[in-house]
Amino acid sequence: MAQLGAISSSSSTNFVFNGANKPEPALGRNQICYSNKFSSVSSWFNGNALVHNNLNLTRASNNKVIQAVAASEKGVDVSVSPKTGGGLRGKLNKVVLAYSGGLDTSVIVPWLRENYGCEVVCFTADVGQGIKELDGLEAKAKASGACQLVVKDLQEEFVKDYIFPCLRAGAIYERKYLLGTSMARPVIAKAMVDVAKEVGADAVSHGCTGKGNDQVRFELTFFALNPELNVVAPWREWEITGREDAIEYAKKHNIPIPVTKKSIYSRDRNLWHLSHEGDILEDPANEPTKDMYMMSVDPEDAPDQPEYVEIGIVSGIPVSVNGKELSPASLLSQLNDTGGRHGIGRIDMVENRLVGMKSRGVYETPGGTILFSAVRELESLTLDRETIQVKDQLALKYAELVYAGRWFDPLRESMDEFMKKITETTTGSVTLKLYKGSVTVTGRTSPYSLYRQDISSFESGQIYDQADAAGFIKLYGLPMRVRAMLEKGI
């Protein structure tokens, strides 16, 4: 995504801002502490956080984590203080909340404090959703009553450790869905578990509804990585039933309502895809509007000239574009731009949610569609028939496990080792032609190719004697011949 280019992710550096005029404890290698009250991380450039409002900034290396401690706003009104014995529903010490800064999570912060008498640490993961989604989060968290904000750049980890294994496995859910949201949830939830350990939290919380898949994906990850953590799911507990209720709750507790234009669609964006649900899409008979799409142009409006792109692959994992080696996140970001220009990767489908209902969604996955085409075509050279058949069968189960939130299930991990082993020789390059929404393979090459021109040629050769086919056909067709003889009484 072009707008994400300002956020770089390479070597790991942590920034800690302390609003209480005392440094935080040392957090480890490549981490820097600041001890001035600050307003917000207000701009980004070349992977480095630039902090304004009289805060002295010392840069070490490209940031991996930006962590901010924000004092709770005095104006926030909660009926039970964290200093007392508990809240309306019980007592928790500290809760790490998956935080976006929108209306729902802004309301969840005071709701947790009121109902569990706890401190709330807001956590935001950068998985490539865009710079606008990260802007002003510190101020929003502070205004809602959070004691701390943690932002982690997970883009490289997301692509390298989650997207690329699924790509290597060929995992596609229900024939179409490339698992964009499904892959993002476990990397976010894993980071929440890590943050909970760092800050000494005894609980985690999310803003997922009781009807969706995401609640399962978050909580199964929590269970797998730290079964001792308490899990709070406000949408399954509170009396708030919609946007108006949330606004009233915010007003009652003096919580500033985020000033954002509410989209008519429910969207989820990360470096792999952008999903659209809701509004007119709830009727499967309705065609999506042209202005709904954000990552890709309408194929009708795409360039009239095709563009060729060469993808370099090593052991089933993409490593280069047009001969230039790139980091996983950079490679995907570049292909998103390229594919989006040509209207690549639009999918409209009705899927079966894990919780039982059907839902209609529209997905944009430009870079991912290009990569899936490339890896699959290279496998046609490097894998034999039986291996491809077994791999395709297992890919269905692999996709189901990922969709269902079972990323850290031993079965998926074992299947991943199988996929890694059989794709050891899936190395080479694939050339693709992008044109008005289509991806066409024009060339493929591999040093481990099982294709032999001297065997496949129609010309006679020493390795394959065409006369041998007669005996093969007789033996291969024997069961059919015997059955026909039985039916005819021969």
Higher pLDDT: 95 or 242? It is: 95
Task: Residue 268: name the closest of 184, 196, 346 by CA.
Answer: 184
In whole numbers, what is the pLDDT of the chain averaged over residues?
85
Catalytically annotated residue among 266, 380, 438, 449? 266
Q: Up-side HSE of residue 272: CA atoms within 13 Å toward CB?
A: 26
Q: Can you list the positions of beta strands (E) in 140-243?
A: 148-153, 203-205, 230-232
Give the pLDDT band (50/70/90) at residue 77: low
Give the pLDDT band (50/70/90) at residue 259: low
Contacts (Cβ under 8 Å, ≥6 apart) of 355: 211, 212, 213, 216
Q: Average of pLDDT values for 176-197? A: 98
Task: Residue 144: name the closest of 108, 195, 93 by CA.
Answer: 108
DSSP class of 177: B
Q: Output the CA–CA distances (angstroms, integers) from residue 393 to 39, 66, 100, 470, in the order listed.
A: 53, 42, 37, 32
DSSP class of 173: B
| Both tokens assigned to 279 | 């509004």
For the chain, the C-alpha Rg in angstroms (whole number) is 26
- How far is it, in rounded angstroms, from Cα 31 to Cα 192? 19
With helix as H, strand as E and coil as C, how does 76-116 read?
CCCCCCCCCCCCCCCCCCEEEEECCCCHHHHHHHHHHHHHH
Contact 133, 100 (CB under 8 A): yes
Dihedral angle of Cα 78, 82, 83, 87, to the nearest 10 degrees = 80
Give the pLDDT band (50/70/90) at residue 6: very low
Annotated catalytic residue 194: no
Least confident of 138-142, 233-237, 386-390: 138-142
Q: Output the CA–CA distances (angstroms, integers) from residue 438 to 217, 302, 340, 432, in the order listed.
A: 32, 11, 11, 10
Catalogue the long-range contacts made by 280-284 (C-beta closer than 8 Å, 24 or more residues apart). Answer: 281/360, 281/361, 281/362, 282/360, 283/360, 284/350, 284/360
Contacts (Cβ under 8 Å, ≥6 apart) of 356: none
Task: Residue 434: name the closest of 487, 373, 375 by CA.
Answer: 373
**What pLDDT digit, counting tens, does each position of 438-466 carry?**
999 999 999 999 998 877 776 666 777 88
437: left (phi over 0), alpha (psi -120 to 50) or beta: left
- On the question of pLDDT at 185 being above 80, the answer is yes
Looking only at the bridges linking them, the beta strands covering 230-232 and 203-205 are parallel
Contact 204, 96 (CB under 8 A): yes
Annotated catalytic residue 104: yes
Would the pTM of this model clear 0.75, i.e. be above it?
yes
Looking only at the bridges linking them, the beta strands covering 203-205 and 307-314 are unpaired
Catalytically annotated residue among 9, 40, 153, 185? 185
What's the pLDDT at 164?
Answer: 98
Cβ-based neighbour number of residue 381 at 10 Å: 18
DSSP class of 207: -
Q: Average of pLDDT values for 174-194? A: 98
Looking only at the bridges linking them, the beta strands covering 274-277 and 14-18 are unpaired
What's the pLDDT at 394?
Answer: 98
Contact 215, 221 (CB under 8 A): no
What's the pLDDT at 419?
Answer: 98
Catalytically annotated residue among 104, 126, 153, 268? 104
Higher pLDDT: 68 or 319? It is: 319
3-state secondary structure of 341: helix
What's the pLDDT at 453?
Answer: 82
- On the question of pLDDT at 7 being above 70, the answer is no
What's the pLDDT at 5?
Answer: 33
- How far is it, in rounded angstroms, from Cα 240 to Cα 210? 13
Contact 104, 233 (CB under 8 A): no
What are the strands of the beta sheet with 358-364, ordered from one edge?
Answer: 266-269, 274-277, 358-364, 346-352
Percent of residues, the chain, with pLDDT higher than 70: 81
3-state secondary structure of 234: helix
- How far is it, in rounded angstroms, from Cα 209 to Cα 355? 11
Q: State the greatest distance between any 2 C-alpha atoms of the chain, in Å, as a whole number.
A: 98
Catalytically annotated residue among 113, 214, 268, 360? 214
Dihedral angle of Cα 19, 20, 25, 27, to the nearest 10 degrees = -10
Annotated catalytic residue 412: no
170: left (phi over 0), alpha (psi -120 to 50) or beta: left
| Both tokens assigned to 137 | 């989060």
Annotated catalytic residue 266: yes
Q: Output the CA–CA distances (angstroms, integers) from residue 433 to 128, 229, 430, 440, in the order listed.
A: 26, 49, 10, 5
3-state secondary structure of 338: helix
* Chain Cα centroid distance, residue 456: 42
Sign of CA dihedral 26, 27, 29, 30: negative
